[in-house]
Amino acid sequence: MSDLNSLAELESQLTDIKHAFEQEFERFARFSDPVFVKTGTVPGTIAAQLPDLQSYQDILAQLRTKYFGKKSALAAAKKSIGRVAPEERSSFGQFVQQTESSLLAKLEIVEQSLRARIATERIKRDSIDVTLPGRRPRHGHLHPITLLREKIEDVFVSLGYAIEDGREIETDFYNFDALNIPQNHPARAEQDTFYTTAGLALRSQTSTVQIHAMQRRGAPVRMIAPGRVFRRDTPDPTHNPMFYQVEGLCVDRGISMAHLKGTVGEFLRRMFGPDTRTRFRPSYFPFTEPSAEFDFSCFKCGGSGCRICKNSGWIELGGSGMVHPNVLRAAGVDPTEFSGFAFGLGIDRMVALMYSLDDIRLLFENDIRFLEQFD
């Protein structure tokens, strides 16, 4: 009698196990749908992503241990087969076996379809679609100041000039002494020049390169030196404490003012067209004697007057003159044998004029929205 009772008990325990499993397993049943294996989704549900699929797989592995492992209720039920009365043992045994294999079959179908699905998702993730259009790198272009500088360099190289690369930090000798700038000259004042360590300063003009060029190359020499210069100016639409100049120097036997005028005139005609006119106005610079400032006829109106040339017909460009004998001497060139001319011009203002920029600072802010307009 007690055996019968315990058999009924065992059977109902087994049925409980079966129900508990089915309840926990319910949410996985949909994965046995062949549509899921094929598409990753079952009608009416959201497609599972790879990480979800992998966590489902983990949960299933836990389920397997919980219901079919050595310490599971099912394992205990199997052990109890031996305790059942001999005449009922085989039918109970079959019942246990059937329950186990039907539950396992359900679990295995889902495990299999998840495995298949995960394999498909992995291939999808790891494969490269070679038919997709590539991502083109954004290609840059030269800065407008660089474009103008290169154009100027091209003209002078074709006239037989070398290009000198100067220094941005200079000693007093190159900044002032060698350029015949006297001790008390206002350019030496701290409010105009950025002094760094004692005796050194950021160059305030490219004229310093004249000295280096003559020292290194001797005479005769023909060179231009484009580069940055620094002045303690407060930034405003027409000033920036850093800007660009191009220096020019030609030293040889018998060089005169005529060569200066001819060279600057030819340079500007090549830059702005054959009708461009040049004019020289007397001026003063410590490193040249005589000195002159030069203008060229407006590239926009040709000289009749417009907004760009402020109705004068002329655009002021730079300073120039015959190299002062003291400068030649300071650079080791004999002024009784050689003479030369020099000039210097600012190129940022020229860019601003050419592109009608109303604020020169735009050129130095590196704002891509501004710069990409010059492609």
User: Where on the chain is the footprint of ligand DAH (CB under 6 A)?
Assistant: 205, 207, 247, 285, 288, 318-321, 342-344
Q: Is 316 exposed, middle or buried, given 0-12, 13-18 or 19+ CB atoms closer than 10 A?
A: middle
Distance CA 111, CA 105 (A): 10
Q: For residue 171, give every residue at least 6 positions away whose Cβ sits within 8 Å of its Cβ, in sequence order, or none.
A: 199, 200
Given the complex with ligand DAH, which of 117 and 324 has the nearer CB atom? 324
Given the complex with ligand DAH, which of 176 and 285 has the nearer CB atom? 285
Q: How far is the CB of 187 from ligand DAH (least distance, A)?
A: 9
Read off φ and ψ for residue 346, nearest 5 degrees.
-95, 135
Given the complex with ligand DAH, which of 226 and 319 has the nearer CB atom? 319
Of 12, 27, 28, nearest to 73 by C-alpha is: 12
Q: How far is the CB of 335 from ligand DAH (least distance, A)?
A: 15
Given the complex with ligand DAH, which of 342 and 360 has the nearer CB atom? 342
Q: How far is the CB of 293 from ligand DAH (least distance, A)?
A: 8
Q: How far is the CB of 245 from ligand DAH (least distance, A)?
A: 6
Of 284, 289, 281, 288, nearest to 317 by C-alpha is: 281
Given the complex with ligand DAH, which of 40 and 227 has the nearer CB atom? 227
Given the complex with ligand DAH, which of 40 and 319 has the nearer CB atom? 319
Q: How far is the CB of 205 from ligand DAH (least distance, A)?
A: 4
Distance CA 373, CA 304 (A): 29
Q: How far is the CB of 370 from ligand DAH (least distance, A)?
A: 26
Q: How far is the CB of 344 from ligand DAH (least distance, A)?
A: 3
Contact between 222 and 162 under an 8 Å Cβ cutoff? The reply is: yes
Read off φ and ψ for residue 159, nearest 5 degrees.
-95, 5
Helices and strands, counts by H and E, the chain? 12, 9
Given the complex with ligand DAH, which of 342 and 352 has the nearer CB atom? 342
Distance CA 70, CA 66 (A): 9
Distance CA 264, CA 320 (A): 10
Given the complex with ligand DAH, which of 99 and 288 has the nearer CB atom? 288
Q: How far is the CB of 208 from ligand DAH (least distance, A)?
A: 9
Distance CA 354, CA 365 (A): 18
Tokens 């003291």 map to which residue? 326
